[in-house]
């Protein structure tokens, strides 16, 4: 595709939009549709575009903006707040998948270097896709959502380090290897020092003036990311490393959120060309062999990756439900896996057929994992009994007699639950709070509130609670199915006190009332009514 082929560009964009619409109707990520369009318009299909030229340039810009945003939004605080579980699951899954994936690749007849690339590519999960799906399901703030985002950050850091190592040492050979290594470290130190000096003395003052114009802020962000990426490539580290460092250098500034929000749309548009390029580069000369290997690797990613996360989280005594929901998020490979494969091809380490294999695995696992995440709760209801046999959360339970003097048992110490606990204790009530986030339990320091670790879906956990003494059980958890399980457990244990449950929709509220819950709280409805009364009074006044 040449720059002057304006009608051809328009046709490709229109086709991408149409395929994107079809993907959304099938509840699939747009990545799948865009790679499909690349196959259709590439040499294998209609032969409209080539993988290089204009498409290749726009694809490289898309990768640079993507890695710039990853560095810009690098939130190490989130990794710290999710505790050791983020590091354990992130690194544990990377090690497990790399080792087992390498052994599988060798059994399939791949050479050592190819097997290493395939194994490493299988380890990383897509932050973009997972965050989007969890956000749509309103599960980012739940425990499994925060843990998933935590270990995804760990994986992003690992993949950047891998790319740094590959670009730095990938082409080093000859008799002067020690000298080459020393030169690489010197160049790397120089690059890091330069970026650090910009962070300390230049960027904060410069951004203060640039940010006066939002359009100029966006232009500066892109120009800075591409410039550092180009400098990094000239030093032999690859443009990806430079773009990431550029984002990291702007992360401490107060303008990172505004800049990141404005660049998201540009990132999504430019990444379209990266996925088009991938599709155009796919080769099907050895389709039979690729399909066999693709099926094996896809099953491994769809089953093995979630399994290792579930095992690690159960060993760390997280509830089976939390481990299962967090584990399903890693059942696909990432856009970074595709970037890594392209990098390996550019360095001459792997051939086009291997890139095609990794891309096919990406298509299959991204499509399959989307449905796994969307229907995760239904799947858990089918497998919950089997997983509960291996649940080790009993190690966190308190003895039944340890909390006898309570008036209210409150499930959930989130924003709404914490405020409610404060109001109840201020009114003189003794509260026993139950939450399945061990960090919320550990941080609780409210007078009159005793916090214990437990899950609302663990029927056996109710045996440890002083149900006979509690006058009321309150659930601030807005999940209808979780509340139904809790209500069933209370009745199974012949609880006679009051029940107060929370609902975020009228449908859920109606079902809870039909199940004879004493009081259903609808926070959004109450807030809207209170706001309406205040506005009405203000307008009349």
In tens, the pLDDT along 403-432 reads 557 889 999 888 888 899 999 998 889 999
Among 236-240, 301-305, 459-463, the range of highest mean pLDDT: 301-305
Write down which residue in 342, 357, 387 finishes a domain.
Answer: 387
- Sequence-distant (6+) residues with CB within 8 A of 462 are 489, 490, 492, 493, 495
Write down which residue in 335, 358, 387 finishes a domain.
Answer: 387
Identify the burial level of 415 via C-beta atoms within 10 angstroms of its C-beta, where 0-12 means exposed, 13-18 middle and 19 or more buried.
exposed
**Band of the pLDDT at 171, cuts 50, 70, 90?**
low
| Residues 381 and 411 reside in one and the same domain | no
Say which residue the tokens 């575009």 belong to. Answer: 49
Helix crossing, 352-374 with 112-121: angle to 10°? 20
| Residues 181 and 329 reside in one and the same domain | yes
Q: So what's the pLDDT on residue 404? A: 55
Distance of alpha carbon 75 from alpha carbon 266, whole angstroms: 22
| Residues 441 and 530 reside in one and the same domain | yes
**Band of the pLDDT at 456, cuts 50, 70, 90?**
confident
Distance of alpha carbon 1 from alpha carbon 9, whole angstroms: 8
Instruction: Please state, in angstroms and as integers, the Cα–Cα distance from residue 539 to each residue in 262, 441, 528, following that order.
Output: 36, 43, 16
Q: Which two tokens stand for residue 25?
A: 């109707």
Q: Kindly state whether residue 163 falls inside one of the protein's structural domains.
A: yes
- Ranking 162-171, 291-300, 443-452 by mean pLDDT, the lowest is 162-171
Rounded to 5 degrees, what are φ and ψ at 407? -100, -35
In tens, the pLDDT along 324-334 reads 888 888 888 88
Pick from 441, 426, 429: nearest CA to 473:
429
Give the DSSP letter of residue 463.
Answer: G
| Residues 343 and 427 reside in one and the same domain | no
**Quick check: 399 pLDDT over 50?**
no
Q: Kindly state whether residue 153 falls inside one of the protein's structural domains.
A: yes
In tens, the pLDDT along 63-80 reads 888 878 877 876 655 555
Q: Kindly state whether residue 335 falls inside one of the protein's structural domains.
A: yes
Q: So what's the pLDDT on residue 282? A: 66
Q: In the chain, pLDDT over 70 holds for what percent of residues? A: 88
Q: Which two tokens stand for residue 477?
A: 């958890």
**Quick check: 157 pLDDT over 80?**
no
Write down which residue in 387, 421, 456 finishes a domain.
Answer: 387
Q: So what's the pLDDT on residue 517? A: 92
**Quick check: 501 pLDDT over 80?**
yes
Higher pLDDT, 521 or 51: 521
Q: Which two tokens stand for residue 129?
A: 């896709």
Distance of alpha carbon 114 from alpha carbon 112, whole angstroms: 6
Identify the burial level of 112 via C-beta atoms within 10 angstroms of its C-beta, where 0-12 means exposed, 13-18 middle and 19 or more buried.
exposed
- Ranking 7-11, 43-47, 62-66, 247-251 by mean pLDDT, the lowest is 43-47
Total count of domains within the chain: 2
Rounded to 5 degrees, what are φ and ψ at 101? -60, -40
DSSP 39-71: HHHSTTTT----SSHHHHHHHHHHHHHHHHHHH
| Residues 374 and 246 reside in one and the same domain | yes
Say which residue the tokens 């008799």 belong to. Answer: 175
| Residues 255 and 353 reside in one and the same domain | yes
Residue 253: which CATH number?
1.20.1530.20
Rounded to 5 degrees, what are φ and ψ at 430? -95, 125
Q: So what's the pLDDT on residue 104? A: 92
**Quick check: 169 pLDDT over 70?**
no
Q: So what's the pLDDT on residue 181? A: 67
Identify the burial level of 345 via C-beta atoms within 10 angstroms of its C-beta, where 0-12 means exposed, 13-18 middle and 19 or more buried.
middle
Whole-model pTM above 0.85?
Answer: no
Q: Which two tokens stand for residue 138?
A: 């309103």
Q: So what's the pLDDT on residue 396? A: 45
Distance of alpha carbon 166 from alpha carbon 230, whole angstroms: 17
Angle at 311 between CA 100 and CA 396, to 5 degrees: 160
For the chain, what is the mean pLDDT?
A: 81
Q: Kindly state whether residue 37 falls inside one of the protein's structural domains.
A: yes
| Residues 269 and 411 reside in one and the same domain | no
| Residues 271 and 180 reside in one and the same domain | yes
Distance of alpha carbon 275 from alpha carbon 171, whole angstroms: 26
Q: Kindly state whether residue 1 falls inside one of the protein's structural domains.
A: no
Q: So what's the pLDDT on residue 402? A: 47
Beta strands, E only, 371-453: 408-411, 431-435, 449-453
- Sequence-distant (6+) residues with CB within 8 A of 381 are 481
Residue 532: which CATH number?
3.40.50.720
Q: Is 501 helix (H, G, I), strand (E, B) or coil?
A: strand
Q: So what's the pLDDT on residue 283? A: 62
Say which residue the tokens 């548009």 belong to. Answer: 269
Q: Kindly state whether residue 319 falls inside one of the protein's structural domains.
A: yes
Enclosing domain of residue 327 = 6-387
**Quick check: 174 pLDDT over 70?**
no
| Residues 325 and 405 reside in one and the same domain | no
Q: Kindly state whether residue 413 falls inside one of the protein's structural domains.
A: yes
Q: In the chain, pLDDT over 90 holds for what percent of residues? A: 11
| Residues 379 and 442 reside in one and the same domain | no
In tens, the pLDDT along 98-118 reads 899 999 999 988 888 889 889
Q: So what's the pLDDT on residue 286? A: 57
| Residues 42 and 184 reside in one and the same domain | yes
- Determine the average pLDDT of the residues in 34-54: 77
- Determine the average pLDDT of the residues in 220-245: 84
| Residues 263 and 405 reside in one and the same domain | no
- Determine the average pLDDT of the residues in 368-396: 75
């Amino acid at each position: 595709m040449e720059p002057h082929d304006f009608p051809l560009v328009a046709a490709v964009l229109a086709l991408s939009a149409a395929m994107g619409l079809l993907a959304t109707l099938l509840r699939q990520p747009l990545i799948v549709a865009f790679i499909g369009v690349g196959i259709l318009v590439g040499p294998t299909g209609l032969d409209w575009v080539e993988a290089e030229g204009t498409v290749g340039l726009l694809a490289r810009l898309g990768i640079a903006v993507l890695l710039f945003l990853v560095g810009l939004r690098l939130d190490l605080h989130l990794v710290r707040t999710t505790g050791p579980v983020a590091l354990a699951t992130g690194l544990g899954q990377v090690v497990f998948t790399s080792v087992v994936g390498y052994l599988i690749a060798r059994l399939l007849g791949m050479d050592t270097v190819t097997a290493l690339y395939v194994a490493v590519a299988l380890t990383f999960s897509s932050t973009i896709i997972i965050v989007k799906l969890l956000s749509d399901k309103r599960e980012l703030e739940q425990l499994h959502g925060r843990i998933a985002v935590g270990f995804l950050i760990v994986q992003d850091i690992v993949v950047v380090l891998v790319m740094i190592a590959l670009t730095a040492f990938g082409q080093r050979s000859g008799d002067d290897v020690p000298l080459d290594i020393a030169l690489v470290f010197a160049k790397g130190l120089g690059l890091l020092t330069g970026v650090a000096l910009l962070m300390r003395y230049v960027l904060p003052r410069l951004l203060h003036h640039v940010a006066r114009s939002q359009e100029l802020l966006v232009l500066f962000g892109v120009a800075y990311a591409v410039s550092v990426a180009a400098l990094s490539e000239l030093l032999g580290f690859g443009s990806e490393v430079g773009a990431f460092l550029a984002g990291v250098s702007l992360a401490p500034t107060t303008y990172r959120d505004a800049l990141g929000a404005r660049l998201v749309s540009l990132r999504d548009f430019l990444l379209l060309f990266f996925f088009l390029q991938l599709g155009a580069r796919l080769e099907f000369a050895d389709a039979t062999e690729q399909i066999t290997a693709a099926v094996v690797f896809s099953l491994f990613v769809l089953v093995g990756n979630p399994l290792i996360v579930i095992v690690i989280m159960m060993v760390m005594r997280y509830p089976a439900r939390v481990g299962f929901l967090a584990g399903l998020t890693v059942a696909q490979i990432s856009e970074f896996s595709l970037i890594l494969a392209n990098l390996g091809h550019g360095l001459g380490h792997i051939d086009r057929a291997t890139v095609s294999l990794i891309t096919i695995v990406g298509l299959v696992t991204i499509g399959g994992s989307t449905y796994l995440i969307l229907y995760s709760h239904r799947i858990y209801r089918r497998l919950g009994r089997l997983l509960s046999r291996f649940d080790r959360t009993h190690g966190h339970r308190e003895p039944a007699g340890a909390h006898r003097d309570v008036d209210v048992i409150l499930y959930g110490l989130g924003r709404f639950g914490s405020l409610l606990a404060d109001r109840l204790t201020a009114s003189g009530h003794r509260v026993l709070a139950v939450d399945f986030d061990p960090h919320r339990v550990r941080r609780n320091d409210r007078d009159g509130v005793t916090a214990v670790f437990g899950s609302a879906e663990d029927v056996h956990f109710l045996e440890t609670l002083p149900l006979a003494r509690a006058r009321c059980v309150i659930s601030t958890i807005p999940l209808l199915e979780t509340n139904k399980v809790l209500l069933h457990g209370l009745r199974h244990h012949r609880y006679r006190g009051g029940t107060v449950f929370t609902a975020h929709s009228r449908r859920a509220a109606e079902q809870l009332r039909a199940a004879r819950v004493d009081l259903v709280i609808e926070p959004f409805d109450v807030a809207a009514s209170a706001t309406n009364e205040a506005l009405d009074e203000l307008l009349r006044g």
